[in-house]
Amino acid sequence: MWLCLSGRQFETPDEISKTVGEFLAFAVEVGFKGVELRTGHLSAETSDAEAERIAEPLREHGLRCSFCLGGEPADEGSTAAFKRVVDLAEVIRAYAVRCGGGSEANLTWYREVADYAQERGIKVVSQIHNGTLFETVPDSLRAMAMIAHPNYGIAFEASHLVMASQPENGEEAVKALGQHVFSVSVQAYKAYDDMDCYGGPIEIQGKQWGACLPGAPGSPDLQSVFRGLRAIGFDGPVTVMSGALPGGPNPEDQARIYYDTLEPLVG
């Protein structure tokens, strides 16, 4: 397994506060082995030349991109944009491109982008997330059966299972998904309270949830998650997906907290 940092750590509604160069240098300084690039760093509008300029410091720092964001392929235009991101992912040697996975109506498009990515050595993943086909473990298994493509997998994320009120969100959930798990995303959410949570509550399924630091009571049991990952022989990217939220630690400190928490589990 290799531990990565998402650019979401420095993303606000208006901008990403670090350039690609600054972001990569910070990730290396902390000890991360890879990064996730947000659309503010790489998107379908990124030129080939700019992708080469991103690839160079990735190589120099010995980092690999765990995934880029491809959006939701729902028609010819959005599918073409997704394929463009795959092309750029190939330039920077990314591991995967993330797909929204939001609708059964788009299954044909999902297979098409999975085919396209497979030809270029890039995986396609959808993260466990509310409002998608991948909201719970049973939902995710059903989605994988419908998509039925060997190059399309799941980014396991325990906090969204917590927010879907799933009693099992650790070891047994990982084992149930098994070889469908291509990557792992990590963030910490719990039932909202004023003690541990920051950034304001979000409402999912009629309940309020809040971001917190990893290990807070009621947040995912990361020890259990990693027992499950080792049980299935997982050896892919683990990406810290924490966000820059008001009331929480500053982005640099929060990234270091996640690194210190996860590195013993990944190593």
Amino acid at 158: A
Average pLDDT of the chain, as a whole number: 97
Pairwise CA distance, residues 104 & 132, whole Å:
9
Pairwise CA distance, residues 200 & 36, whole Å:
25
Of 24, 99, 30, 98, the closest CA to residue 60 belongs to 24
Of 234, 87, 61, 223, the closest CA to residue 158 belongs to 223
Question: Three-state SS string across 221-252, please?
Answer: CHHHHHHHHHHCCCCCEEEECCCCCCCCCCHH
**pLDDT tens-digit profile, the chain (267 residues):** 999 999 999 998 888 999 999 999 999 999 999 999 999 999 999 999 999 999 999 999 999 999 999 999 999 999 999 999 999 999 999 999 999 999 999 999 999 999 999 999 999 999 999 999 999 999 999 999 999 999 999 999 999 999 999 999 999 999 999 999 999 999 999 999 988 999 989 999 899 999 999 999 999 999 999 999 999 999 999 999 999 899 999 999 999 999 999 999 998
108-137 per-position pLDDT tens digit: 999 999 999 999 999 999 999 999 999 999
Q: String of b and e for 30-67 (b: at least 16 CB within 10 Å)?
A: bebbbbbbbbbbbbbebeeeebeebbeebeebebbbbb
CATH domain 2-266 topology: TIM Barrel (3.20.20)
